[in-house]
Amino acid sequence: MRQRFHFRGGVHPPEHKHPTDHKPIEIMPLPERIVVPLQQHIGAAAEPVVEKGDEVKTGQMIGKAGKFVSVPVHASISGKVTAIESHPHPLGVNVLSVLIESDGKDSGYKQYKPVVDFKKLPAEKMKDLIMKAGIAGMGGAAFPSHVKLSPPNSKPIDTVILNGVECEPFLTSDHRLMLEESDSILEGLKLIMKILNVHQAIIGIEKNKPDAIDLMEKKTKNRKNISILPLRVKYPQGAEKQLIQAATGRKVPSGGLPMDVGCLVHNVGTAFAIYEAVAMKKPLIERVVTVTGSGIREPKNLRIRIGTPYKDIIEFCGGLTDQSVKIVNGGPMMGIAQISDETPVIKGSSGLLILDHKSVGIRSENPCIGCARCVDTCPASLLPTRMAAFIRHGMIDRAYDLGLPDCIECGSCGYICPANIPLVQYFKMGKTLWHQAQQKKEQVA
């Protein structure tokens, strides 16, 4: 399939994929202790169903879904619950978490094997298995997958798009997963298509992954309803709305959702997890993470149990270099700097980026020079500096009216800004302040 459409804006940051794009996925040894946050997804936090002192097995549910827009969480090792307490979370906040000390047995893990005739299960049973497995979007958004797979009848889906773009610099976990688990990913895609009763799917992969493109084309050559779409290398090509436009030419309206244009997007890692949930009844207890950057001695792609602390991962990768200064959950464009190496891997953790002092660099903010590069670059067609100015002066409603909710926080504007204005940080703050103001209005009402 040949790409016919594009999206406006975007940037071309250095890719930095070479440290890990050729390295097979390794299985990281079991951690001695895990920290499982009860909030790893968009929506209501899971509610604990275990207590301190309880013995748990690998895959056992330890937190039940709070509401429909929620998913359960599971123990990723077997052992004893030592605490249920607030703990640092990759998003920079403290979240109620379940701490488990390993017994070294991994009891329960070997039970996960393919179920006979899983493809014949009805769609509702598949969605129930996906919900019970705790699957949430693994590309970073972490939206509960069973909810995403339940569009209203008024919003019929005709196209499923599988996101194998991985445009974020440094990260290669999706790339390696496509090379090493292509059959399972495709089975997951077929399950998604069956659940939605959709007969057309597109797998989007950036052209800097020719081996993944070739493999997926070979695997789907006899399936006319699944197309492989090589995409131009441009950030943020993998953002949901931008990917839809690049793949189909359809533009999601302001404030709208992919279902408004008949599309549904899932990450390749999510498709793999959906396959394991339906075919093996396996909960989401592990994921592939890229550990890379100038501050780590041995960059790797690792299959890691959910809840494993960063410090264990860093140690397994040879430790930090002498010049290491920053740990980032995710990549350099959309990742979040961490304050503790006790923070755990969660369902949405696709990468762990360690940077040294040369890579970080301190940039001073200067006044806007009116060059409009941020406007030209914004893939959401916003006015970044004007929105930032309103937020800086406390005029949040004005920024909101200019399209603040449509900002995808990709970081393209800040990356290209010659004045070094931290635009994305202003937008994150603006969204937080706006939501706080809305909550106050609701309380008064």
pLDDT digits (tens, 9 = 90+) for 179-195: 999 999 999 999 999 99
Q: Enumerate the β-bridge partners of residue 73.
A: 63
Look at 139-143, 281-285, 395-399, 422-426 and tell me which has the smallest mean pLDDT: 139-143
Order of all β-strands in the sheet with 55-56: 33-37, 94-102, 79-88, 55-56
Q: Residue 202: inside a domain, yes or no?
A: yes
* H or E element that contains 357: helix 357-360
pLDDT at 362: 67
Kindly state whether residues 276 and 414 are assigned to the same domain: no
Q: Please name the residue ranges forming H helices in 85-171.
A: 123-132, 145-148
Cβ partners under 8 Å of residue 283, min gap 6: 59, 61, 72, 74, 132, 133, 134, 277
Any idea what the CATH number is for the domain that residue 148 is in? Answer: 3.40.50.11540
Q: Residue 90: inside a domain, yes or no?
A: no
Inform me whether the pLDDT recorded for 364 exceeds 90: no
Kindly state whether residues 390 and 247 are assigned to the same domain: no
Using CA atoms of 129, 131, 132, 134 in order, give the dihedral in degrees to the nearest 10: 120
Cβ partners under 8 Å of residue 222, min gap 6: none
Inform me whether the pLDDT recorded for 295 exceeds 80: yes
Inform me whether the pLDDT recorded for 172 exceeds 70: yes
Closest among 398, 404, 396 to 436, alpha carbons compared: 396
Contact 204, 161 (CB under 8 A): yes
Cβ partners under 8 Å of residue 330, min gap 6: 140, 168, 171, 336, 349, 350, 351, 353
Q: Indicate the pTM of the whole model.
A: 0.95
pLDDT at 444: 76
Contact 164, 205 (CB under 8 A): yes
Domain boundary among 233, 255, 280: 280
Please compute the mean of the pLDDT values over residues 318-334 and round it to a whole number.
95
Q: Measured between alpha carbons, how far is 431 from 264 in angstroms, rounded to an integer? A: 25
Inform me whether the pLDDT recorded for 443 exceeds 80: no
Handedness of CA 151, 345, 31, 316 (dihedral sign): positive
Q: Measured between alpha carbons, how far is 211 from 25 in angstroms, rounded to an integer? A: 16
Angle at CA of residue 95, ends 90 and 101, nearest 5°: 85
Q: Please name the residue ranges forming H helices in 145-181.
A: 145-148, 173-180
Model pLDDT for residues 11-23, shown as the tens digit of each residue: 999 999 999 999 9
Inform me whether the pLDDT recorded for 39 exceeds 90: yes
Q: Residue 176: inside a domain, yes or no?
A: yes
Handedness of CA 283, 43, 288, 130 (dihedral sign): positive
Kindly state whether residues 130 and 269 are assigned to the same domain: yes
Q: Residue 13: inside a domain, yes or no?
A: no
Kindly state whether residues 270 and 404 are assigned to the same domain: no
The pLDDT confidence band at residue 340, using thresholds 50, 70 and 90, is: very high
Kindly state whether residues 394 and 275 are assigned to the same domain: no
Domain boundary among 235, 258, 280: 280
Q: Measured between alpha carbons, how far is 204 from 267 in angstroms, rounded to an integer? A: 10
Average pLDDT over all residues of the chain? 95
Q: Which two tokens stand for residue 95?
A: 């979240």
Kindly state whether residues 378 and 275 are assigned to the same domain: no
Burial class (CB in 10 A: 0-12, 13-18, 19+), 193: buried
The pLDDT confidence band at residue 161, using thresholds 50, 70 and 90, is: very high
Q: What is the CA radius of gyration of the chain?
A: 21
Structural domain count of the chain = 2
pLDDT at 212: 98
Q: Residue 260: inside a domain, yes or no?
A: yes
Q: Residue 153: inside a domain, yes or no?
A: yes
Angle at CA of residue 86, ends 82 and 87, nearest 5°: 85
Higher pLDDT, 434 or 96: 96
pLDDT at 317: 98
Kindly state whether residues 379 and 239 are assigned to the same domain: no
Q: Residue 51: inside a domain, yes or no?
A: no
pLDDT at 92: 87
Kindly state whether residues 128 and 266 are assigned to the same domain: yes
pLDDT at 273: 98
Kindly state whether residues 268 and 416 are assigned to the same domain: no
Domain limits for position 176: 118-280
Q: Residue 417: inside a domain, yes or no?
A: yes
Closest among 52, 260, 228 to 158, alpha carbons compared: 260
Domain boundary among 280, 306, 336: 280
Q: What is the DSSP string of 190-253?
A: HHHHHHHT---EEEEEETT-HHHHHHHHHHTTT-TTEEEEEE---BTTTSHHHHHHHHHS--PP
Cα 351 to Cα 292, 336, 393: the distances in Å are 8, 11, 35
Model pLDDT for residues 94-144, shown as the tens digit of each residue: 999 999 999 999 999 888 888 888 999 999 999 999 999 999 999 877 899
Please compute the mean of the pLDDT values over residues 137-158 and round it to a whole number.
93
